[in-house]
Amino acid sequence: MTETVFIAAAGIVSPLGNGLDATATALQENRTAIAPLTLFPLLQGTPLPVGQVPDLEDGPLPRTHRLARQAARMVMAEAGTPPPEMVLLGSTTGGILTTEDLLRAKSCDQAAYRHHGLASVADDIADFCGCRGPACTVSTACSSGAVAIALALNLLRSGQATRILAGGVDALSRLTYFGFHSLQLVDRNGCRPLDVDRQGLAVGEGAALLLLTTTRPDNPLGVLLGAGLSCDAHHPTAPHPEGRGAHQAMQSALRDAGLEPAAIDYINLHGTGTRDNDLAEARAICKLFPNPPPLSSIKGATGHSLAAAGAIEAVVAALAVSRHLVPANTGGRQPDPDLGLLPERTPGHRPVATVLSNSFGFGGNNGCLVVGQADTPAVATRKKLDDVLAIHGSACLTGAGLQEATLTALQAGTVVAGMLPARQLEEALPARQIRRVKRLARLALLLAQEADQATGNGVSPSAVFMGTGWGALSETYDFLTRLTESNEQFPSPTDFVGSVHNSPAGQVALHSRATGANVTTSGGDHSFEQALLAALALLGEDETALLLGADEGHAPLSCLLDPSISDGQPLADGGGALQVSRNRHQARCLVRLPFYGRGNDKDLPERLIDALGGVTFVTTKYAAVLAGIPAGSYQQGMAQLENFFHRIGQRLPLWPYRACIGEFASASAVAAAMAATFVEAGTVPGALLGGADLHLDREAKLLVLGTGKALTAMEFFRP
């Protein structure tokens, strides 16, 4: 399978300016836009240098959303119709800057927090562009934008879409500004990548979106030739000292593109200006490239825009191949001789056919992209992978306990909603493993441990795909509370590290020594389904992965952020995990994701039925429906479900699982673990369906529907 993926259009908003022309001019002039922070007032000290976007248009939406909108507007003005079939957006901040102000004002207005979640940015861009397919959020810290683009590349190659809008966005916030300062990773003199006197990064912001398509446009900016993902599985923040994960990701990207290292004309470095990161990246490059090509980092010009960085630099890579521009290593004056690299001192114009662009993030999350000139053919031949994953083991966690206790309670007709006491989590996990992490990471680690034991094949996962609707609420709240109570003097570095959405998946990778792809998705009530989408697109033929979803209940944040939770309502949390691969040998169950749609509720069920194979297939093959109907969108979800039953002409046995499991975003991960268990056992407990046990014949399938802002379908069946 060989498929060329074109960059049809791009939008970019950064401290250097708005649009391709402004960005190219600033890079040609070797300008830096790093300057002291002015976005929000400080209670202590002199503002640190940051990369701040000037003159951002005002509006009711949070800053991150407005940055993304501005980039999307550029793309749509250039590319026009049809709208993208999917939106894949990398982000780590969402509406956090607005949330910080609300929390300081002690606001209890749930509606005011409606744009907090990372998913709200992707949803807004999808609505803005008229996208009717998935609106997915990737949150892998500073590699998020690159990972979102890599995911888009694989979805386009597999034929699941022909037109995807992908990229990254993040806004400055107190969380990131004070967080990186607490880690002593900020250079008060600005960012000086690869410099002998470098002392750290400058936190930045921005947005970049690329319209990727398999249909050749009139004037493509370039082609996306390959991508590589890896995880260091070494440390929550520090890279592997020899750059092991960076080397693996670069090597995978070149292999994916069908290129040798000598074919690369320019490397756009991650180059943050921190001593350890620059050294690790340099060692990885020297190992892979005996004679490195021209290379530089633009973070001395833009600052480090976190989730947006990989996308901004992908646009810069497209500028390099389309305008023959090699940016300078802005900010660097005297190259560090210990790095063994000589970055570009001044901008240059020279032929550039291929660019390797690097992005690395907390948790050892690495993403590398290869961009080529518009006429470069796709040379890598890839085997078309199945759209099914084999399940070899499962685990879940609810208020009733782990999977066996949960299943026993459900069979007895008992509601399992609630929160497992913290002491039981502590007793179930090694003390050394959990001493620096809080509830969400502990939930994820326990699920990983249980799934591994349930599988019992001695095979550790090489990749991790995790969905979480709200991320680590405990660390986020504790960081912001301590920041406020100390008058911004004593932010907690440990809480900052734990607050990023991908921190739990990083902990799981450390536990499992999983050095393959490590992808965290955050899609609200459809977060687990987005993790499944990523696993289906990215998991290699010979790899094994842990696929999980988890969310924590947190007072007071849960009732402020999640519209399905009202103030005073008992909290519930937990999650589910599946060990999956593409090898069906000794599989206990199979899973696929036949539908993920957004848009008109009246139209969605009809599109779902078509995707499932038509009315006759639905009524003869599906034995029961497990439906997730979030309380925050109950009327919408019930309307979708009733419309579905109306169109197939009958009601299938139904389990509305959130009524039993509880209201938390990744409840569908528990439903997935239960569905896999029911299929393997050949029985759905009658207590769930309001009647006798439902016995499944060999060909019967279970359908897990997610309703609300989107309509999703997961299908579980026997091998």
Question: Between these two residues, 1 and 686, which has the higher pLDDT value?
Answer: 686
Contacting residues for 367 by C-beta, under 8 A, at least 6 apart: 140, 143, 146, 147, 149, 150, 227, 228, 229, 249, 310, 359, 360, 361
Q: Is residue 361 part of a domain?
A: yes
**Is the separation of the CB atoms in 640 and 711 below 8 Å?**
yes
Contacting residues for 106 by C-beta, under 8 A, at least 6 apart: none
- pLDDT for the residue numbered 3: 82
Same domain, 243 and 294: yes
**What residue type is 565 in one-letter code?**
I
CA distance 521 to 500: 12
- pLDDT for the residue numbered 16: 98
- Of the residues 325, 347, 372, the one at which a domain ends: 372
Which of 535, 207, 247 lies closest to 368, judged by CA? 247
Per-residue pLDDT, averaged over 697-707, amounts to: 96
Contacting residues for 458 by C-beta, under 8 A, at least 6 apart: none
Same domain, 153 and 48: yes
What's the chain's average pLDDT? 95
- pLDDT for the residue numbered 666: 97
323-354 CB burial, b ≥16 within 10 A, e <16: eebbbbbbbbeebbeebebebbeebbeeebbb
Same domain, 9 and 100: yes
- Of the residues 570, 589, 608, the one at which a domain ends: 589
Q: Is residue 431 part of a domain?
A: yes
Same domain, 225 and 339: yes
Residues composing the chain: 719
Same domain, 571 and 689: no
Q: Is residue 52 part of a domain?
A: yes
Q: What is the pLDDT of residues 155-169, one digit of tens each?
A: 999 999 999 999 999
- pLDDT for the residue numbered 663: 97
CA distance 662 to 674: 14
- pLDDT for the residue numbered 309: 98
CA distance 50 to 81: 37
Q: Is residue 382 part of a domain?
A: no
CA atoms within 13 A on the CB side of 577: 29
Hey, what are 226's tokens?
């390959």
Q: Find the domain containing 187 and state its range.
A: 5-372
**What residue type is 302 in one-letter code?**
T
Which of 708, 718, 701 lies closest to 613, judged by CA? 701
CA distance 497 to 437: 9
Same domain, 540 and 611: no
Hey, what are 559's tokens?
């009732």
CA 485 to chain centre: 31
Q: What is the pLDDT of residues 337-378, one digit of tens each?
A: 999 999 999 999 999 999 999 999 988 899 999 999 999 877
Q: For residue 692, what is the domain's CATH number? A: 3.40.47
Same domain, 401 and 477: yes
CA distance 579 to 330: 45
Per-residue pLDDT, averaged over 108-132, amounts to: 97
Q: Is residue 679 part of a domain?
A: yes
Which of 211, 209, 476, 180 lies closest to 303, judged by CA? 180
Hey, what are 383's tokens?
């085997």
Q: Is residue 316 part of a domain?
A: yes
Strand 518-521, strand 463-467: pairing: parallel
DSSP summary character for residue 85? S
Same domain, 582 and 601: no
pLDDT at 1 over 60: no
pLDDT at 621 over 90: yes
- 567 pLDDT band, cuts 50/70/90, is confident
Q: Is residue 384 part of a domain?
A: no
Q: Is residue 531 part of a domain?
A: yes
Give me the catalytic one of 270, 392, 501, 511: 270
pLDDT at 656 over 90: yes
| Residue 115 designated active-site | no
CA distance 719 to 699: 10
Q: What is the pLDDT of residues 282-321, one digit of tens each?
A: 999 999 999 999 999 999 999 999 999 999 999 999 999 9
pLDDT at 667 over 90: yes
**Is the separation of the CB atoms in 34 and 51 below 8 Å?**
yes
Hey, what are 243's tokens?
């750059």
Contacting residues for 255 by C-beta, under 8 A, at least 6 apart: 226, 228, 380
Find the distance separating the first CA and the last CA of the chain, reported in whole Å: 26
Q: For residue 468, what is the domain's CATH number? A: 3.40.47.10
- pLDDT for the residue numbered 574: 98
Which of 245, 171, 144 lies closest to 522, judged by CA? 144
- pLDDT for the residue numbered 364: 84
CA 134 to chain centre: 13
| Residue 231 designated active-site | no
| 365: enclosing H helix or E strand | strand 365-372
Same domain, 613 and 507: no
**What residue type is 279 in one-letter code?**
L
**Is the separation of the CB atoms in 406 and 30 below 8 Å?**
no
Which of 503, 434, 495, 507 lies closest to 182, judged by CA? 495
Q: What is the pLDDT of residues 4-41, one digit of tens each?
A: 999 999 999 999 999 999 999 999 999 999 999 999 99
CA distance 274 to 201: 6
CA distance 385 to 318: 29
pLDDT at 383 over 80: no
Q: What is the pLDDT of residues 271-284, one digit of tens each?
A: 999 999 999 999 99
Same domain, 571 and 599: no
Q: What is the pLDDT of residues 497-510, one digit of tens each?
A: 999 999 999 999 99
| Residue 660 designated active-site | no
CA distance 152 to 164: 7
- pLDDT for the residue numbered 2: 60
- Of the residues 541, 562, 589, the one at which a domain ends: 589
pLDDT at 386 over 90: no
Give me the catalytic one of 142, 231, 368, 660: 142
pLDDT at 447 over 90: yes
- pLDDT for the residue numbered 381: 59
| Across 423-432, 460-469, 638-647, 684-693, least confident range | 423-432
pTM: 0.97
CA distance 301 to 272: 11
Same domain, 348 and 455: no
pLDDT at 610 over 80: yes
Which of 253, 350, 349 lies closest to 310, judged by CA? 253
**Is the separation of the CB atoms in 308 and 170 below 8 Å?**
yes
Peptide bond into 82 cis (omega under 30): yes
**What residue type is 670 in one-letter code?**
V
Per the structure, the count of domains in the chain is 3
Same domain, 294 and 412: no
Which of 406, 511, 425 lies closest to 474, judged by CA? 425
Share of the chain above pLDDT 90, in %: 92
Q: What is the pLDDT of residues 523-560, one digit of tens each?
A: 999 999 999 999 999 999 999 999 999 999 999 999 99
Burial of 260 (0-12, 13-18, 19+ CB in 10 A): exposed
Give me the catalytic one of 116, 181, 247, 304: 304
Q: What is the pLDDT of residues 175-227, one digit of tens each?
A: 999 999 999 999 999 999 999 999 999 999 999 999 999 999 999 999 999 99
Alpha helix ranges (H) inside 158-304:
174-182, 244-257, 275-288, 299-302
Task: Look up tokens 């518009």; give the residue.
Answer: 374
